[in-house]
Structure 1
């Protein structure tokens, strides 16, 4: 279950509707699992006020949940993306706390839970995805106590001092504790959740367990709260990047940019958590100080449109485009542009070509659950070249330690990292990239889904595991992921 279905509705010129698979990594990871299990995927079809009956697509039962314009405004744009999103990203922007948004969030979560309860077979496994649906696990458990329920939070889970600002903090905790396994991107996120449970509910916690006491009507339960860092389809992305067409396109991109000595690349959703402004400030100062020359270095910034109906996102776009225009006006020449700014999305083939063309990848997020762009760049570089500059505030930094790690708020530190990346000897670049590629290959998206589902399967039974001894398979999974 996820907010969006794994398929997109396409209407041709004649008005005929059809469905195509969404390109996201989550779909890539779970599609074979869902097909093998004869599974159903519950989610919104992406269009307001669209009532659709369940249907089959590529061996998966698709169960659409309708959302109205009011649902989108209050549940999605409101509570999910103007309350939870900024709160969970360390209040980089001020969250809005509106009771009408919360009430709509409860209503929509209940609608998702009802739809899932109706289509789930006896004893079925349900995997709920992400922050839009945090109340669903408890709602499902109330309706269908026979179900095995997992939840995965794709974004950070904040420290208690931040989370406690949420007026409905207790209800969110109770909602998540309806799951048998609650997964997070980072060990720190799982720890933040366990601390919130202790502070708000007083339950006993001993990593990775949370003991949920029973009542006269409901037995006591043991919940697992643990990190399962998500990844990408490494083999598929590497195969794509090695194709002759993508290789040729990468050479063409360099030629189109005037064959500069160094191409730097940023790829982000246009979101205030991504640190695009910090990156541009560092680059602009390097040009102003004469430490970089526009004839030698070009920055390509891809900023994929995001939540353009939300005012704060419209303001962010204006700020970024104003900064790009100022830097290009101050330092560009007739034949060389300082920044090539692209405000639209690209297909995977074009993204792979951009990764191959880039000498330096800049990931300067202020807070990020994982950041799969960093892993895609590494997977694309089978030539063992290129340098990754990575924010220490991303989940990816826990694994990709051979990157140049930076604090994006430290503009001087970012500038020094950029210069170090540009001047790095070939031997050091190869050594770092080999290390990064080994780590990404070890923990691909299949490993992520397999390890989560193995942990979830082994909680089967009243109250989860008996005693404190883990089954061998789960003990191995926990130990292996912790070491990583």
Structure 2
């Protein structure tokens, strides 16, 4: 293309000089011809004038005009009168216009749109000088000039095509040789083939060989059936496939919160599935976790750069806190994120609210966190793990600040269908922000498919479903399902008493009989968790099966959350009222079938409840994964207990041995509860054994490892392409 442009420019530049050259040649030719004409007729003209023979003069002039290029010939006498002229002499030609001088003269005139060359020659007579005017038609010059230009252009184009063709053949030959050498280098590296003796490996071959060693190491670790995913294997994976890679996590929730209570600073681990999943990964990988410092004593615990080493007892990574004002928190977190995106993505029939002011705060906070990533990064190409719907705009913002970063965004909640997502006024901006990622991860393939459909409807991009990728403005983003999980073995399981001791402790704490059957639910107070629905199912259970009255207790632990939002505070009030109503209807002799405990429980307390329970109820109305279900399974090292799991939780795709229920159908849930309470111990063991095997093998280290392996492949492919480009 460049050669064609250069050739065209040269051709255009050649046209004016060729035209000028032609005009100069034509003028010289006409001038020479005019002098020849005058030289041949000046004697006869002089004699005809001396003899006064006008007839002979006219014959002489007519003979001259027979030349095709002579337009007309005229003779002006000494008095300025046209003595004779041929028939084509322009009527407005005047002898006064002829040059008057003692020597020949030349001029150009335009006659009827035609260019005419006028040559005037003095003819001496006894009465004084007469003037012979020869008018030459120059129209043939334009035609010849055009022909010359065509010839010049054709010659240059032909020359250019010949040169271009020869160059193309040469380039094709060189590219073919380069491609063959590159293919051979890749093949040698893939097979581990040694080079012939005496031949040194080239730079590109050496680098390709190193890359293949990394890839094979990656494949060996990820595809070996016997691999056991653990903190050590994840650490080894990073050392092998991502040596010296810098890991940065971005999330709204921080893994450790410092609050001031009764004059002292108290450390709290939040009840968050995101923290439960990522904190073990960071302990294994190290790096930096950037999060909102929300605790009342958080500022007191950081250094001058707002950082602190965590966990406090055994520091393994760095926590960088970002500060958000109360006004910003109300708009960004409570507003756009939790009154807008949260209900938009969950099918729980709560209307999302979108306000322009909330959107402005959301953009501001996303940019603040992106700036924090750039400030914390010590390398130009860190691996940045952006977490959840709070930071949909951050990937694009980070990409602008760190173009070489590998950005993995994980969406922890469901992704709705395209029609539902179309409700959001800023859908295009959110999709564009997410597509700044290198990889976008969801819990299930279903959510990936919904995302593809949404992008297809609202963004002009190229979607390749075969490779599961979206290309926007030349940047490719991979879309992958990564089912999240928990650490194995769970840290909270360490130090737990035997199951029987946990059963005794919990029954004593709640004043229950040793033989009482216990069901537990562990949630945040959130309308998507189906807390009211499970309580209704217990009401139905005790109505249909009154034999369980006094023998069955449901302990619901619910940590308050987002209490500033009306829908959340209303849910808590409704839950308390419903529990009182059911207890009044089915309670007897001081026994309450529902115990609602509204406070945060630390992980060891939660695991004690899990180990003491006969069954666990997870009745989410809509959930991305739900790690409570997996934590219950992990807690039951006695392989007893029954999990009742909503079909609308992502975990139901993996924990298929649970009793899968529709939380909207209270009667069927009640029957599932009854079946769980009556399930024999050997069936419980068989189901729990399979679920524990699933959680053990598909643990959080495998979840993180799969994402990091994909990140490693992206970086390796980028290096190969860079090598190929440098070789060219």
TM-score (norm 1): 0.88
Whether 2:685 is the aligned partner of 1:430: answer yes
SS at match of 1:354: helix
Q: Deviations over 1:326-368 (max 9, x none)?
A: 1111111224211111111212222111111111111111001
TM-score (norm 2): 0.60
Q: Retained in 2: the 8 A contact 1:207–1:225?
A: no
2:465 to 183, 206, 219: 206
- Residue 482 of structure 1 corresponds to none
Q: Retained in 1: the 8 A contact 2:281–2:701?
A: no
CA deviation after TM superposition for structure 1 residue 286, in Å: 2.2
Q: Deviations over 1:380-425 (max 9, x none)?
A: 1111111111001001101000001011111221112111111112
Q: Retained in 1: the 8 A contact 2:386–2:409?
A: yes
Q: Within 2, Cα distance between the matches of 1:465 and 1:419?
A: 60
CA deviation after TM superposition for structure 1 residue 8, in Å: 1.4
Correspondence list, 1:349-388, <5 A: 349-388=604-643
Whether 2:293 is the aligned partner of 1:45: answer yes
CA deviation after TM superposition for structure 1 residue 290, in Å: 4.0
Whether 2:454 is the aligned partner of 1:196: answer yes
Q: Within 1, Cα distance between the matches of 2:586 and 2:644?
A: 23
Q: Within 2, Cα distance between the matches of 1:180 and 1:103?
A: 25
CA deviation after TM superposition for structure 1 residue 122, in Å: 1.3
- Residue 2 of structure 1 corresponds to 251
CA deviation after TM superposition for structure 1 residue 460, in Å: 1.5
Q: Within 1, Cα distance between the matches of 2:438 and 2:376?
A: 20
Whether 2:360 is the aligned partner of 1:99: answer no
Correspondence list, 1:229-378, <5 A: 229-237=483-491, 239-240=493-494, 243-244=496-497, 248-255=501-508, 256-378=511-633
Q: Within 2, Cα distance between the matches of 1:323 and 1:372?
A: 26
1:70 to 311, 319, 327: 327
- Residue 134 of structure 1 corresponds to 392
Q: Retained in 2: the 8 A contact 1:3–1:132?
A: yes
Deviates more, 1:170-179 or 1:344-353: 344-353
Correspondence list, 1:156-171, <5 A: 156-171=414-429
Q: Within 2, Cα distance between the matches of 1:189 and 1:25?
A: 18
Q: Within 2, Cα distance between the matches of 1:269 and 1:415?
A: 23
CA deviation after TM superposition for structure 1 residue 50, in Å: 7.7
Q: Within 2, Cα distance between the matches of 1:23 and 1:112?
A: 22
Q: Retained in 1: the 8 A contact 2:271–2:601?
A: no
Q: Retained in 2: the 8 A contact 1:265–1:300?
A: yes
Q: Give the unaligned 5+ runs of structure 1.
A: 215-219, 467-484
Q: Within 2, Cα distance between the matches of 1:201 and 1:250?
A: 55
Whether 2:402 is the aligned partner of 1:144: answer yes
CA deviation after TM superposition for structure 1 residue 226, in Å: 0.9
Q: Deviations over 1:171-203 (max 9, x none)?
A: 111111000011111111111111111111242
SS at match of 1:189: helix
Q: Within 2, Cα distance between the matches of 1:35 and 1:359?
A: 32
SS at match of 1:250: helix
SS at match of 1:198: helix
| Change in CA separation of 1:28 and 1:407 when aligned onto 2, cut-off 3 Å | closer
SS at match of 1:105: helix
Q: Within 2, Cα distance between the matches of 1:20 and 1:287?
A: 37
Q: Within 1, Cα distance between the matches of 2:266 and 2:443?
A: 34
Structure (1 or 2) with the greater helix fraction: 2
1:84 to 314, 325, 341: 341
Deviates more, 1:379-388 or 1:39-48: 39-48
Q: Retained in 2: the 8 A contact 1:48–1:67?
A: no
1:450 to 705, 709, 716: 705
Whether 2:153 is the aligned partner of 1:153: answer no
Give the number of the structure with larger relative contact order, counting CA–CA contacts within 8 Å between residues 6 or more apart: 1
- Paired residues, what number? 459
| Change in CA separation of 1:239 and 1:6 when aligned onto 2, cut-off 3 Å | closer
Q: Within 1, Cα distance between the matches of 2:492 and 2:287?
A: 29
Q: Within 1, Cα distance between the matches of 2:573 and 2:551?
A: 28
SS at match of 2:385: strand
Q: Retained in 2: the 8 A contact 1:185–1:370?
A: yes
- Residue 408 of structure 1 corresponds to 663
Q: Within 2, Cα distance between the matches of 1:64 and 1:142?
A: 22
Q: Retained in 1: the 8 A contact 2:260–2:296?
A: no
Q: Within 2, Cα distance between the matches of 1:383 and 1:35?
A: 28
| Change in CA separation of 1:464 and 1:90 when aligned onto 2, cut-off 3 Å | farther
CA deviation after TM superposition for structure 1 residue 36, in Å: 6.7
Q: Deviations over 1:431-483 (max 9, x none)?
A: 111111111111111111111111122112687997xxxxxxxxxxxxxxxxx
CA deviation after TM superposition for structure 1 residue 91, in Å: 4.8
SS at match of 2:476: strand
